[in-house]
A and B are shown apart, each in its own frame.
Chain A
Amino acid sequence: MSSPMPPLDLIESNDPVAMPKRVALVRPDARATLRRVEERWVMTFPNLILREVIVFQIVVIALSLAALLFNAPLEGIANPLETPNPSKAPWYFLGLQELLHYFPPVVAGVVFPGLVVVALVVIPFAKINLSARPLWSGDKKQTRLWGGGAIVVLAVFFAAFNCWPIVIPTLLVGGAMFSIGGGGQGGRLRQFLVRVTMPEWIMTWFILVATILTLIGTFFRGPGWSLVWPWNMYPPA
């Protein structure tokens, strides 16, 4: 045990100038308790290695079943003189091919994918992504102005190109964003949405747009890139 603390000299006085009294309010979340609990560590072998082997086995089994049940597509030999209608890129590029329907090729094929790659690369270096500040935790007026402005600009821009598959998710995400602008009172969904940060709103918007475009390009585009039902994709010859 360390030596006992020397007694403090207490000056008893009721004069607020000579002895100002201070009141400290300790919030429950700011108490001087230990925040970080001791972490438990385990040996990598066998704990992690065996789990990795199991994941690998599950993947191999699932893929083998898929390979037994479904054949990889194979059409007739390549013929440069006979263009199938529609001719489609692999599924992960169909979002871009869908954009070709609305935008000039240089925008859909170069500008947009370029912007996406640049945006992905800079994510960890942008200060806004490093803070865990929820979107509505700051100046609400500023957030309303800039957030609303961005949504309106995006919606108007894509509407000008008749690109409704982007306009609609933009307005949906914007609506969700503004629905909790008032504060955090309410149900679980509201409690969850209140904590969403700005980068998370943007990423969610991007994933929603990319998914919708890919699904439309894959399942709802037929001859001449016209809108069709999936079961009418290729009309009977």
Chain B
Amino acid sequence: MNGTPLPRIGIWVRESALYRSIVRHGAADTNRNRSLVIFENLFLHMHPVKVREKTLKFTHTYWLGAITISALVVLIATGILLMFYYHPSVPQAYRDMKELKFVVDNGVFYRNLHRWAAHLMVLGALLHMVRVFYHRAYRPPRQFNWVIGVVLLLVTLLLSYTGYLLPWDQLAFWGVSVGTNMAKEAPILGPPIRFLLLGGNIVSENALLRFYVLHCVLLPVALLGFLGVHIWRVRKDGGVQGPPGPASDDEVEP
């Protein structure tokens, strides 16, 4: 059947006791096994086993959610690599940027990737929201998933914003100063929130440490939590919704 050595190795691996103890189903050559691929996998089972064929069309979603999540995966991967070289202290944080540039192998590349992926994620989330709005995909039963989406957008903006300070260059310092000065203007709660966020009255070493913890621990955990609910609810609410069809009678007010 399979004369070449590579497929034979593949079959041998797939039929071995070890492989079968990890992945219980065989090759995905029957619809039963294709179903098992989805619901025997913790991560893939966020998807339904079957999807409507029309939802795979490009113009159905423009894949904007998938693009945003892809950017997030790139951000997590490069972010962890960058953490190995980063000290959230003054002036070492800025020196680490120079280290990344001149000493660390591919340091500039990973920093660039992280930066551009961050822009892509913010842009992708915004466009995804616009797409969902014009396709009226926020309507029942998807109301609450829209709200979770708004929360995800805010967390994404906060992640991008807290990361903006970490290089500790002029751009970072003054960009964050402008933003936190706006927060100060909120009545009653503004100044205490700003103090809590910065760990003082100005953007200082304390602020750098707090933004670092927010950026690397608190906000990513929050994001992944809400993201899990967001994707799971897409399945629970009947799959992704694309452009609305012609309005049916119950939708049009007389």
Contact = CB atoms under 8 A, between A and B. Distances in A.
Interface of A: 35, 39-49, 51-52, 55-56, 59-60, 63-64, 66-68, 70-80, 82-84, 87-93, 96-97, 100, 104-106, 108-110, 117, 120-121, 123-125, 129-133, 138, 200, 203, 207
B112 A124 contact: no
A200 to B, nearest CB: 7
Contacts of A117: 150, 154
A29 B105 CA distance: 67
A11 B181 CA distance: 86
A40 B54 contact: yes
A63 B117 contact: yes
Interface of B: 28, 31, 34-35, 37-38, 44, 47-54, 56, 63, 66-67, 70-71, 73-74, 90-91, 94, 97, 101, 108-117, 119-120, 122, 126, 129-130, 133-134, 136, 138-140, 142-144, 146-147, 150, 154, 157, 160-161, 164, 167-175, 177-179, 181-187, 190, 202-203, 244, 247-248, 251-253
A66 B70 CA distance: 15
Contacts, number: 207
A103 to B, nearest CB: 11
Contacts of B126: 92
B97 A131 contact: no
B143 A124 contact: yes
Nearest to B145: A124
Contact of B91 (A66, A77, A87, A207): A77
A83 B203 CA distance: 13
Contact of B170 (A42, A76, A89, A96): A76
A162 B66 CA distance: 41
A89 B175 contact: yes
A72 B74 contact: no
B143 A55 contact: no
A42 B47 CA distance: 13
A79 B170 contact: yes
Given A40-B52, A70-B116, 6 more contacts: A42-B53, A47-B53, A48-B56, A87-B178, A109-B182, A124-B144
B99 to A, nearest CB: 12
A106 B50 contact: no
Residue of B49, B67, B178 with most chain A CB atoms under a 10 A cut-off:
B178
B113 A76 contact: no
Nearest to B143: A124
A45 B179 contact: no
Given A43-B31, A109-B185, A120 B53 contact: no
